[in-house]
Structure 1
Amino acid sequence: MTHVAPKPQHDDELLEYRLALRLGPVHARQRLGIEREFESRLVDPGGHFCHVEKWYSLHGLIRGCLRLSGLLGRAESNARRMRTVEHRFVLPHLPEAFEGFRILHLTDLHVDMDAPMLEAIIQHVEGIDYDLCVLTGDYRKLTWGPIEASLEGMRRLRRVLRGTPLAVLGNHDSIRMLPPLEDMGYQVLLNEHTAIERDGNHLYVAGVDDAHFYKVDNLQRAAEGIPNGKATLLLSHTPEIWRQAAHAGYDLFLCGHTHGGQICLPGGIPVLLDADCPRFVGKGPWQHAGMQGYTSCGAGTSMVHARLNCPPEVNLHTLTRGTG
């Protein structure tokens, strides 16, 4: 006699049931459990601030310094001035069918942070021509609390994105966002991969769950089933797993998280980078052990809606074989 699991009766049960089906019971329990535990405290057992945006004195300090310097208005205006930053990746073994393939890279949108900023992102993206859109996390303003406003912002953005956007979650994103995001038409890669097909050739795109806050990334699982020698792209919210990814054999690595510093000194020198990694992977293009990477400054803002010497950006990456 076949055993049929009882139908969930409550919203929480339905969420856990759906996540278990989607991610497997272990990953689902792990992600939900860590999230619930972190939401209940300010400092984790290691002494690190779990939710820096709960430390309201830091918000006030940053805003106060900008106001005293006369830069607050300029910094807030800067945060809504979107630009497209283009980059070219040369992959000699790229299938000829993917020559000139363009990837729109969006990250750190924090869509519920500022309504005019979201509108600026939407209007900017509408005018860009691309073959694939990828998103590397942090769609929510806070790292805790309600998800409805961020989901509505992602729903508005989805209406202007062509094709099936591929996404990963960031440290600001609740796992509770996964089912509604997928219902909207985003394909969320959580330690998984998918194959983009052109004329019988493939580009493999893998994505890992958050490696910064939740530490639930799994590069091995994400790569399972990818044939050796094929062109591969890894999506991660944070650059912090740059070394592991390079030695896992990925060709390209796209990420965000750092905001490029967001508040920078003249010349774009970050005052702080909220990531446990060297500065050479903290912003813009970089390389390591044969892998090429790009850490985007992101289109949104975190903590304080302000940018100085670090404009918001959406990225357009072009893949080429480098011949001709």
Structure 2
Amino acid sequence: MSLHAQTHRLMAPDIAAMKRVKPIVALTSYHAHTAAIADKYCDLLIVGDSLGMVMHGFETTVPVTLDMMIVHGRAVVRGARRALVVVDMPFGSYEESPSVAFRNAARVMKETDCGAVKLEGGRRMAETTRYLVDRGIPVMGHIGLTPQSINVLGGFKTQGRTRDEWPAIEADALALSDAGAFAVVLEAMSAPLAARITEQVPIPTIGIGASSHCDGQVLVMEDMLGLSPRVPKFVKKFGAVATAIEDAIRAYAEEVGARRFPGTEHTYAMKDEPRDLAAVTKKPKKLST
């Protein structure tokens, strides 16, 4: 007889049901130990292809590979116990056709055991979204600023700041909802447009730089922790991790340089000899003549 896990891991329908019920708390995560911490407070953990910039030093998310996403996705799933884990499909892994998208998304689901995947793009991804959902793969959409399209957009530019841009972006959100996406990320979008879309679509909107009108919020974890050197305007730093890390490394280097670390309490003594490290390392006295 199989044993069910004591903690229920949230699934895509659970997140969808939170719309207008409670704000959805989400963060990105790329490794097991941060996932374990965030899991205590988050409903949703997104293994974003932003890991290419945050973890690997790329200038954009475009160079990220499917294998990279799978390695990090697997780590986050191992670290989390309750939150729904969503893994980004990287550039080039889903745009060619719905069948190619399914093959790659199925691999991500099987090899990471995540609960959903995320695709960038609105109406152009509606057919693919429907294709995946019909075959058992939950899909989160992503519209507004889509970082994988940065070379077409001409940079990381806020979307929907003029009203003539609104109809196309609204149509993107509605198309993804109609295609079966369980939620949609709104990135770097004007607040009035984000509020309007949130009211229009029956699925949760997850904002990142799209105002508190959204049904939930997500930030890149390293950005909000104060670990990233440069962050977008919409990021609030909730910590000063970079400073804490530098202080710790400086103290470590000073103690190593002064031979204060490691101390006796950090070493292994012989079982039948005293732990007095000073006595062991003490130079023998010269014999008098």
Q: TM-score scaled by structure 2? A: 0.37
Which structure dedicates a bigger proportion of its chain to helix?
Answer: 2
Higher relative contact order (CA 8 A, sep 6+): 1
Which structure dedicates a bigger proportion of its chain to strand?
Answer: 1
Task: Report which of the two structures shows the higher radius of gyration computed on alpha carbons.
Answer: 2
